[in-house]
Amino acid sequence: MAMTNNRRKCFICNKDKITYPCEGCLKNFCLMDLTKHRQILNEELHHIINDYDQFKQIFNEQKPSSHDLSLIDQINQWKINSINQIKQKAKDCIETVIKCSQTFLNDIEKRFNDINEQIKQFQRENEFNEINLNYLRNQLRKITEELNNPPKTSIEQDCQAFTNEISIIALEKKPKFNNWNQNAITVAGGNGYGENLNQLNCPVGIFIDKKKNIFIADCSNHRIVQWKYNTTEGQIIAGGNGKGNRMNQLNYPTDVIVDRQNHSIIVADWQNRRVVQWVNQNQQILIDNIDCGRLAIDKYGFLYVSDYKKNEVRRWKIEEYSEGTVVAGGNGKGDQLNQLNFPAYIFVDEDQSIYISDQNNNRVVKWRKDAKKGTIVAGGNGKGERLNQLSSPQGVIVDHFGQIYVADFCNHRIVRWREGKKEGEIIVGGNGKGNQSNQLNVPMGLSFDNEGNLYAADRDNHRIEKFEIIM
């Protein structure tokens, strides 16, 4: 709370005196009334501490719920009936129930420990105001509500097995409709287009690893660059030797993914019509003679490539890069549900369902595993800027709740669609084409980091933008 001498009317006594502003409530107080104001704040802090102590007592009294105990009883009865064949399965399931419950409680405990540390800091430093107190009060309220409404678990039976196998399903809570700060932070590039290490030239594809390092398909620089977390320039990890088709060169790369199994990077080398793998500056061609658009890799290590000329998506097994298998499209160019028209970005979920930004059809389609046709999950109402439309959609990603995020290219915005809904909602951008922190200029690739922050390849601004999540 900064204090500056200034004769103004005191908010309390309404007299012209030397007053001191409170940064929390933005009001001015004379010295006597400021002291009273501080006393009121101290009393409010004590109320929050009391609420915290009550919550701590409630938390410490938490025991496994009757629901959890009932599940364990059912598992034990199943174990007895199934004798020795499924004893190990029962043990695994019990551990899963306990782990689900303990993980939830551990998360709550960590959060109220964080609040405790903040309270101690406020008391120790005597530096707090209404904003700080409101924050503490809101945090206590949120975790109290979550403690009173823990996630539920249930049992799933499969009667087709040699015995009635069971597994534990931890049901997710209702989707959190997160919000993101509308003003982005530039985390790569943003220094005009160019080939210096602090510059980018039309970045289009991005991949974020667990350490928040950013791998960028720096398309018009014919290179892949890695920007490590919180650095001011990148480093070239593939290409960067001019445009060409030699093994150490790239020609307008459009996408990059990291294969965690062998610590390699895989690149869609667009104009060379090939997919190449780089491991420690050693290169090999995985797939040749393909009009590759974008790439994806699933949890089993299968590689997916969109082919914008054949209007299809193919999947390849690890180390088996011959013909591949068509898993979406492949029925000629068109707008029927079994067709695509210039497929661009792709995303593969945990069930191996494929989400495709069907660029020239101005829609996103979802193809379930082994499906013969897709379903429209975003757009599909012609090209436009209404909330039920898209305009040349590009990057597409899906969160754990099945919510679909699309880089709406020509509308300079990122939109979220919930599957089954008739229109989307603008998440960030949508403020016209521009280079301000709340604007985008033809966004392309999208990605989340492990905290839920949203990244966008802002192509014509030659930068990567990070929109921080608002919890």
pLDDT band at 376 (very low <50, low <70, confident <90, very high): very high
pLDDT-wise least confident of 151-165, 245-259, 385-399: 151-165
3 assigned to some structural domain: no
271 assigned to some structural domain: yes
Q: What mean pLDDT comes out for the span 358-377?
A: 96
Domain holding 261, by residue range, is 179-470
- The pLDDT of residue 109 is 83
Q: What are phi and psi of 139, to 5 degrees?
A: -65, -40
Query: Under 8 Å CB-to-CB from 144, ≥6 apart: which residues?
Result: 55, 58
pLDDT tens, residue by residue, 77-92: 877 877 656 667 767 7
448 assigned to some structural domain: yes
Number of structural domains in the chain? 1
**Assigned token pair, 380:** 């599909």
Please provide the DSSP assignment of 427-469 as one string: EEE-S-B-SSTT-BSSEEEEEE-TT--EEEEEGGGTEEEEE-E
307 assigned to some structural domain: yes
| Percent residues over pLDDT 90 in the chain | 56
378 assigned to some structural domain: yes
- The pLDDT of residue 2 is 43
- The pLDDT of residue 4 is 46
418 assigned to some structural domain: yes
Strand (E) or helix (H) holding 45: helix 31-60
- The pLDDT of residue 220 is 97
pLDDT tens, residue by residue, 109-120: 887 787 888 788
pLDDT tens, residue by residue, 322-356: 789 999 999 999 999 999 999 999 999 999 999 99
Query: Under 8 Å CB-to-CB from 78, ≥6 apart: which residues?
Result: 86, 90, 164, 166
pLDDT band at 178 (very low <50, low <70, confident <90, very high): confident
Please state the pTM of the whole predicted model: 0.65
328 assigned to some structural domain: yes
Q: Chain-wide mean pLDDT for the chain?
A: 88
- Whether 161 has a pLDDT exceeding 80, the answer reads no
- The pLDDT of residue 174 is 55
pLDDT tens, residue by residue, 437-447: 999 999 999 99
Q: DSSP assignment, residue 145? A: H
pLDDT-wise least confident of 56-60, 215-219, 376-380: 56-60
199 assigned to some structural domain: yes
- Whether 27 has a pLDDT exceeding 70, the answer reads yes
pLDDT band at 3 (very low <50, low <70, confident <90, very high): very low
How far apart, in Å, are the Cα atoms of 157 and each of 89, 93, 151?
Answer: 13, 12, 20
Beta-strand (E) ranges in 148-194? Answer: 153-158, 165-170, 179-180, 185-189
CATH number at residue 458: 2.120.10.30
Handedness of CA 335, 341, 344, 350 (dihedral sign): positive
